[in-house]
Amino acid sequence: MGSLTYREVGATGDGSRLPPPGYHLLRESMRIGSGEREFAAAGEALMRWHMHRRMGVRMDTEASAAAPGVRVAVGLGVGPLRLTAPCEVVWTVREAHRVGWAYGSLPGHPECGEESFVVERGADGTVRLTVTAFSRPAVWYTRVGGPAVRLFQRAYARRCGRVLRRLAATRTGQSVRDRTSGG
């Protein structure tokens, strides 16, 4: 597959350096739930690719969980319309209140850059997913797509939050309706 296609490896883990010059920034933060059980369930679903796979995203990898150096081919779409994006996990974090990972683009990816997915439990117990990415087009069709590509990325990030919310609720036995109404 080759080497990472950008120099700013790890920049999604250090928000002070975002976005690097020449890249577009995406940052979406969504409430997932509340409490330790929600945090643990969301973190597990994130680290073991369940969130992406539940979204219908193909995660071709032999690794059971995200870890630095793990390579994954992310597939969006179906059949001949499937877009494959080769990536490598560049960092992970597993702390008492923060769990997540980031992957970077490899040759053949339609974008150049990095994207992170981090679940955090705040001091008030609120569990959030934050998706942070910096990217720029790497092939002709993402250059032509311009703003539409960025809209797709934002919609994809928001969908990550909705799917992770449902996964965490299922794994903790709560209904999504109960959790979003404050109950």
Domain of residue 120: give its range.
Answer: 24-172
Buried b / exposed e over 23-60, threshold 16 CB at 10 Å, is bbebbbebebbbbeebbbbbbbbbbebbbbeebebbbe
Number of domains in the chain: 1
100 domain residue, yes or no: yes
18 domain residue, yes or no: no
- Reference 92, options 42, 36, 55, 46; nearest CA is 46
110 domain residue, yes or no: yes
Q: Report pLDDT digits (tens) over 113-154.
A: 999 999 999 999 999 999 999 999 888 888 888 788 888 889
- The pTM assigned to this predicted structure is 0.89
1 domain residue, yes or no: no
What is the reported pLDDT for 174? Answer: 56
Q: What is the residue type of 148?
A: A
CA pair distance 54, 17, nearest whole angstrom: 31
